[in-house]
Amino acid sequence: MAGQIIKRGDRRWLVRIFQGRDENGKRRYVNKTIRGTKKNAETYLTAKLRDKDLGINIEPAAESLNKYLDKWLDTAAKPRLRTRTFDDYTSLLKRYVRDPLGAIRLSDLRPVDIQRLYRKMQDDGLSPRVIRYTHAVLSSALKQAVKWEMIFRNPAAVVDLPRQARKEMRAMTLDEASKFLDAVKDTRMSALFIFALTTGMRPQEYLALKWSDIDLKKGTATVRRAIVWSQKKGIGWHFDEPKPSRSRRTIPLPASSVKALIEHRRRQGEERLRVGSEWQDHGLVFTTKSGNPIDIPTLTKQWFKPALVRAELPVFRLYDLRHTHATLLLSNGENPKVASERLGHSTIVLTLDTYSHVLPDMQEEAAKRIEKVLFRTAGTL
């Protein structure tokens, strides 16, 4: 018999569905207690037998969400993710998900449990961006559980997410950029900041540049890797593939950047001689005084923020040098396709969407150009 209903008390029914035999020949059943009328139990049994006939796994996963997340991270996530991304996933789940939800059995996890978690995160002052990232990771894990037939539906798929306000990109004006460059002139990081402003590279890209990536004769720099600092204590840094794939690119350099790099290489050679055998040779363009890579927090705290103070500029992020590069290009009439290629964006749509604040000025310039072309031509007829 595929299934049976057994009365267990007043308005309580045990529904048993035969699942075959285990390796020892012992019968296996899926058991579910239904509260209500016998009709309710019959409806449940009919639905589950139909699912079974369709090949849908009706046996609920007995393990906890925590145990399942361990399995998912090791089996599904780790082989396909970059090291930094995997560390981020692991840290995020530990910080926000495991304590409040981890003890719940995977098959018992409900949308309301997840919704309650997100609400608490909001109440704790976490941003919509953090909540949405948490949701993306948790939903991905639960989607895999559906594929593995451990649960029938993804409970994270139907929860409501907080609205994420569009964050406006900050960029220096031309005058502010000039003041900033004056403030870093003749400092140890002068070439780095000139390079950042004139190429629009991401910090993790220009901090991973090697001299073999620079062609001073042709005046180009090629992005081949990005530097990644592990959040795990004692692991340090490593190089990784640029992300996204179109981040691999060769960027023509302006003469000012080439000149700054030539002077920077001369100074680096002098430093190397002073340090002697203690120099750590990684072939990097921008380094600490011992030749090691520079991490972003140190660059920001020791060099970038003091330069902003000297220049009497408002607060900017290191990453805003990239936005400044893009904004200055686009506001001065550069083709968005060219700007997108310099920035290493995956699509031109991303460039236009990110820097939409520049578009109104571009439209005005376009109107002036078409006016000039059409009516100048008309006047010659």
Report pLDDT digits (tens) over 129-158. Answer: 899 999 999 999 999 998 887 887 899 999
Q: Is 313 within 8 Å of 176 (Cβ atoms)?
A: yes
User: What value does the mean pLDDT take over residues 37-42?
Assistant: 91
| pLDDT of 381 strictly over 50 | no
| Structural tokens at position 28 | 């296996």
Q: Confidence band (pLDDT; 50, 70, 90) for 56?
A: low
| pLDDT of 217 strictly over 50 | yes
* Torsional class of 291: left (φ above 0), alpha (ψ -120 to 50), beta (otherwise): left
Q: Residue 283 and residue 318: Cα distance in Å, rounded? A: 23
pLDDT of 238 reads 85
pLDDT of 90 reads 94
| pLDDT of 58 strictly over 60 | no
R_g of the chain, CA atoms, integer Å: 30
| Structural tokens at position 307 | 């330069």
pLDDT of 380 reads 47
Q: Residue 133 and residue 213: Cα distance in Å, rounded? A: 34
Query: Residue 139 carries which side chain, given as an amino acid letter?
Result: S
Cβ-Cβ contacts under 8 Å for 259 (sequence gap 6 or more) = none
| pLDDT of 379 strictly over 60 | no
190-200 per-position pLDDT tens digit: 999 999 999 99
| Structural tokens at position 356 | 């939409």
Residue for token pair 């849908």: 56
Which residue from 225, 218, 233 is spatially nearest to 282, judged by alpha carbons? 225
For the chain, give the percent of residues with pLDDT over 70.
Answer: 91
Q: Are strands 27-35 and 237-240 parallel, antiparallel or unpaired?
A: unpaired
Predicted model pTM: 0.66
Q: Where does residue 260 rank: exposed (0-12), middle (13-18), buried (19+ CB within 10 A)?
A: buried
pLDDT of 319 reads 94
Q: Residue 287 and residue 188: Cα distance in Å, rounded? A: 10
